[in-house]
Chain A
């Protein structure tokens, strides 16, 4: 009788191990989509950065100089409103991409990358800081407009750039996900347009 119970317990234990292993295998099967999403989020972040990305383009001093020197106040106001709207949109897009990248990191990255504790900490801090800063930036833009929020935009962009470097190094395997998506390669030297690849 005791032997039977022992065998049953061993059997149940083996079943539990198999169940745990099968649950670990599920993410691997979904890996193509997950990797692609993470790659897209990383590309989107890189594509939003100055100088060639959208932020650099819509904060270009040349446009502002042209508007202030050649147009009446009502057009200057329209221009500033539009730029503010774009900056708020940019902060929202960064927030969205950082969240996507964080979800990938929390849910999947450990299956692919062996990250050191220091890198883990750095990534966790960057994710949290950026998510908070993006929301603060949006509020600052709503309340104060573009001009006072300009330095904050610059700081956010630098943080995003730093996160991109750490993420790109840590998740080098994401390179293999490039080109698997529905969107094909875009022209060279046009990083703002490659954001959704």
Chain B
């Protein structure tokens, strides 16, 4: 496959990914985490069975990497206030306990493996830093609400 045909195939695959799957994931944080989950930790390559039935592995990998970079780009430009809202909505969508979630994200920092592999370090550090502050804000809100309603503080996880 020549370069132009390859690029056209990558565009087609990424469009299909956006239309069929990513359109139903409205928040960029959720999209980022979902796309990171399609990446093999050992090889850094992306896999998607649905797309693989129509496109070559190489094309699928590049298309997913493009969507991943796009999601990260959106998150990078979000104001901090909106990022806090994104994290809050994400916690609610996972059905994990708030305290568990905050403790796990603070202790294990799983978001560090969620950024695209070729992200510039400064951008990645900025994203991690904003998440750290967001977690602190959410924890503060949680404490404030548990002080107003004693007993509302959810159970603690082993990560704490």
A22 is an interface residue with CB less than 8 A from chain B: no
The answer to whether B132 touches A82, judged by C-beta atoms less than 8 angstroms apart, is yes
Cβ of B129 within 8 Å of any chain A Cβ, yes or no, is yes
Question: Is B129 within 8 A of A82, CB to CB?
Answer: yes
Chain B residue at smallest Cβ distance from A189:
B73
Is B145 in contact with chain A by the CB < 8 A criterion?
Answer: no
Q: Is A60 a contact of B137 with CB atoms below 8 Å?
A: no
Given contacts A75-B137, A82-B133, A187-B70, A58 and B126 within 8 Å (CB-CB): yes
Bound Cα distance from A62 to B130, whole angstroms = 13
Jot down 28 A-B pairs with beta carbons below 8 A, ordered by A: A44-B120, A54-B120, A58-B126, A60-B79, A63-B79, A63-B80, A63-B81, A66-B80, A67-B133, A72-B140, A74-B136, A75-B137, A75-B140, A78-B132, A79-B133, A82-B129, A82-B133, A85-B129, A86-B125, A86-B126, A182-B118, A187-B69, A190-B77, A193-B69, A193-B73, A195-B122, A195-B123, A196-B119
Q: How far is the CB of B68 from chain A (nearest CB, A)?
A: 11
Give Cα distance in the complex from A48 to B129, angstroms: 17
Interface SS of chain A: helix
Cβ of B121 within 8 Å of any chain A Cβ, yes or no, is yes
* 8 A-B pairs with the lowest CB-CB distances in the bound complex, closest first: A195-B120, A63-B80, A190-B73, A82-B129, A54-B122, A66-B81, A183-B118, A196-B120
- Please tell me if the beta carbons of B137 and A71 are within 8 angstroms of each other in the complex: yes
Known contacts A187-B70, A193-B119, A193-B123; 19 additional CB pairs below 8 A are A47-B120, A54-B120, A54-B123, A58-B129, A60-B79, A62-B79, A63-B80, A67-B133, A74-B136, A79-B133, A82-B133, A86-B126, A89-B121, A89-B122, A90-B122, A186-B73, A192-B123, A193-B69, A194-B120
Contact size range, A: 35 or more
Footprint of B on A, CB under 8 Å?
44, 47-48, 52, 54, 57-58, 60, 62-63, 66-67, 70-72, 74-75, 78-79, 82-83, 85-86, 89-90, 93, 182-184, 186-187, 190, 192-196
Chain B stretch 112-160: residues in CB contact (< 8 A) with chain A: 118-123, 125-126, 129, 132-133, 136-137, 140
Distance in Å: Cβ of B149 to nearest Cβ of chain A? 19
Q: Is the CB of A78 within 8 A of B133?
A: yes
Chain B minimum-CB-distance residue to A190: B73
Assembled-state Cα–Cα distance A29/B129 (Å): 42
**B residues less than 8 Å from A89 (CB atoms):** 121-122, 125
B100 at the interface (CB under 8 A from A): no
> Using a Cβ–Cβ cut-off of 8 Å, how many residues does chain B contribute to the interface with A?
25
Which residues from chain B sit less than 8 Å from chain A, CB to CB? 62, 66, 69-70, 72-73, 76-77, 79-81, 118-123, 125-126, 129, 132-133, 136-137, 140
Q: State the Cβ distance, B58 to closest chain A Cβ, in Å.
A: 12
What distance in Å separates the Cβ of A115 from its nearest Cβ neighbour in chain B?
A: 29
